[in-house]
Amino acid sequence: MNSNPNVNKLGGNISGRNNWPLNLLLGITAILATYLVVTASLTQTEQMIFGLFAFVSILVINKQSWGHTRIVVMIVISIMITSRYMYWRITSTTDFDTPLDVFFGWGLVLAEIYTYFALLLGYLQTIMPLKRPSVAMSLDQKDWPIIDVMIPTYNESLSVVRTTILAAKSMDWPADKLRVHLLDDGRREEFRDYCNKVDVNYLTRDNNRHNKAGNLNAALQVTNGDYVLIFDCDHIPTRSFLQISMGWFSKDPKLALVQTPHYLYSPDPFEKNLKIHNKVPNEGMLFYGLVQDGNDLWNASFFCGSCAILERKALMEVGGIAIETVTEDAHTALKLSRKGYNLAYLAIPQAAGLATESFSGHIIQRRRWARGMAQIFRIDNPLLGRGLGIFQRLCYTNAMLHFFYGLPRLVFLTAPLAYLIFGAEIFSASVFEVIIYAIPSIFIANITNSLIQGRFRHSFWNEVYETALSWYILFPVLLAMINPKFGAFNSTAKGGTNKEDYVDWKSSTPIIILLLLNCTGIVAGVIRLTADDVSDQIVATIAINLVWAVFNLIIISAAVNTALEARQIRKDTRLSRKLPATINLPDGKTIVCETVEFSQNGFELKISQPLDLPRDSKIMVSLFRGDKEVVLPCAVKRSGKTIGVLVDELTTEQQNGFVQTTFSRADNWINVWNVDSKDSLLRSFGEVMKYGILNLAPLFIHAFHDSLLSMRKKNQHKPFTKS
Amino acid sequence: MKIISVVSGKGGVGKTTISANLCAALRNKGHEVLALDFDPQNSLRFHFGINPSDEGGIVSSGFQSSRWKESIIKSNDGCLVLPFGKITESERSNFEQAIATQANLLKEQLHSLGLSPEAYVVIDTSGQLPFLKQALSAANLTIVVNIADAASYATIPMINGAIGQYCEGRSDYVGSLYILNQIDRSRQLNEDIADIVSMQVGAENIALVHQDQSIQEALACRTNIHAYDPNCRATQDFSDAASKITEVMSGISQSSAKRNSF
Minimal-distance CA residue of chain A relative to B186:
A631
pLDDT at residue number B252: 66
d(CA A422, CA A424): 5
Q: Which amino acid is at A701?
A: I
What's A568's DSSP letter? B
Cβ–Cβ < 8 Å for B111, B144: no
Find chain A residues with C-beta within 8 A of B198's C-beta: 627
Q: Are residues A590 and B213, on separate chains, in Cβ contact within 8 Å?
A: yes
B14-43: per-residue pLDDT in tens? Answer: 999 999 999 999 999 999 999 999 998 899
Minimal-distance CA residue of chain A relative to B182:
A588
How much of chain A exceeds pLDDT 70, in percent? 94
pLDDT at residue number A18: 63
d(CA B222, CA A704): 71
User: Min CA distance, B162 vs chain A (Å)?
Assistant: 28
Q: Are residues A590 and B184, on separate chains, in Cβ contact within 8 Å?
A: no
Does the pLDDT of residue A199 top 90, yes or no? Answer: yes
What's A291's DSSP letter? I
Segment (H or E) for A182: strand A178-184
Find chain A residues with C-beta within 8 A of B233's C-beta: 582, 584, 590-592, 622
d(CA A670, CA A693): 34
Does the pLDDT of residue B255 top 80, yes or no? Answer: no
**pLDDT grade for B261, boundaries at 50, 70 and 90:** very low
d(CA A283, CA A270): 8
pLDDT average, residue stretch A74-83: 96
Interface A–B counts its CB contacts (< 8 A) at 44
Choose from A589, A605, A651 for mutation: most chain B CBs within 10 A.
A589
Q: Are residues A631 and B213, on separate chains, in Cβ contact within 8 Å?
A: no
A399-451: per-residue pLDDT in tens? Answer: 999 999 999 999 999 999 999 998 888 888 889 999 999 999 999 999 999 99
pLDDT at residue number B256: 39
Measured distance between the N- and C-terminal CA atoms of chain A, rounded to whole angstroms: 44
Q: Are residues B233 and A607, on separate chains, in Cβ contact within 8 Å?
A: no
Does the pLDDT of residue B204 top 90, yes or no? Answer: no
pLDDT average, residue stretch A312-331: 95
Residues of A identified as active-site: 185, 329
**pLDDT grade for B258, boundaries at 50, 70 and 90:** very low
Minimal-distance CA residue of chain B relative to A651:
B186
B89-114: per-residue pLDDT in tens? Answer: 888 888 888 888 888 889 988 988 88
d(CA A179, CA A148): 5
* A191-195, A277-281, A400-404: range with lowest mean pLDDT: A277-281
Cβ count near A543 (within 10 Å)? 13
Cβ–Cβ < 8 Å for B145, B13: yes
pTM of the model: 0.84
Q: Between these two residues, A502 and A151, which has the higher pLDDT value?
A: A151
Find chain B residues with C-beta within 8 A of A592's C-beta: 231-233, 235-236
Q: Are residues A622 and B214, on separate chains, in Cβ contact within 8 Å?
A: no
A546-580: per-residue pLDDT in tens? Answer: 999 999 999 999 999 988 888 766 667 888 889 99
Dihedral of CA atoms A102, A103, A104, A108 in degrees, nearest 10, equals 90
Does the pLDDT of residue A23 top 90, yes or no? Answer: no
B30: buried, middle or exposed (CB in 10 Å: 19+, 13-18, 0-12)?
A: exposed
pLDDT average, residue stretch A62-89: 93
The overall average pLDDT reported for chain A is 90
d(CA A213, CA A209): 8
pLDDT at residue number A11: 59
Find chain B residues with C-beta within 8 A of A582's C-beta: 210, 233, 236
pLDDT at residue number B259: 42
Q: Which residue from A466, A692, A453 is spatially nearest to A560, judged by alpha carbons?
A: A692
Q: Are residues A591 and B232, on separate chains, in Cβ contact within 8 Å?
A: yes
**pLDDT grade for A492, boundaries at 50, 70 and 90:** low
> Measuring CA to CA, how many Å separate A705 from each of A719, A723, B111, B120?
12, 24, 87, 75
The overall average pLDDT reported for chain B is 87
Instruction: Measure CB to CB from residue B212 to each of A590, A593, A607 and give the nearest one.
Output: A590
pLDDT at residue number A316: 97
Domains of chain A: residue spans and CATH: 143-400 (3.90.550.10), 578-661 (2.40.10.220)
How much of chain B exceeds pLDDT 70, in percent? 94
pLDDT average, residue stretch A87-92: 94
**pLDDT grade for A393, boundaries at 50, 70 and 90:** very high
d(CA B257, CA B173): 7
d(CA B245, CA B141): 8
* A301-305, A574-578, B116-120, B207-211: range with lowest mean pLDDT: A574-578
Q: Are residues A589 and B212, on separate chains, in Cβ contact within 8 Å?
A: yes
Instruction: Measure CB to CB from residue A631 to each of B185, B214, B232 and give the nearest one.
Output: B185
Q: Are residues B212 and A620, on separate chains, in Cβ contact within 8 Å?
A: no
pLDDT at residue number A241: 96
Q: Are residues B185 and A630, on separate chains, in Cβ contact within 8 Å?
A: yes
d(CA A685, CA A151): 41
Label the pairing between strands A308-311 and A227-230.
antiparallel
Cβ–Cβ < 8 Å for A448, A277: no
Find chain A residues with C-beta within 8 A of B234's C-beta: 590
Q: Provide ipTM, 2 decimals.
A: 0.82
Q: Degrees (nearest 5) of the Cα angle A353, A358, A364?
A: 85
Q: Which amino acid is at B237?
A: D
pLDDT average, residue stretch A510-538: 90
- The Cα diameter of chain A in Å comes to 90
Does the pLDDT of residue A721 top 50, yes or no? Answer: no
Domains of chain B: residue spans and CATH: 2-249 (3.40.50.300)
Does the pLDDT of residue A91 top 70, yes or no? Answer: yes
Q: Which amino acid is at A88?
A: W
Instruction: Measure CB to CB from residue B233 to each of A590, A608, A609 and give the nearest one.
Output: A590
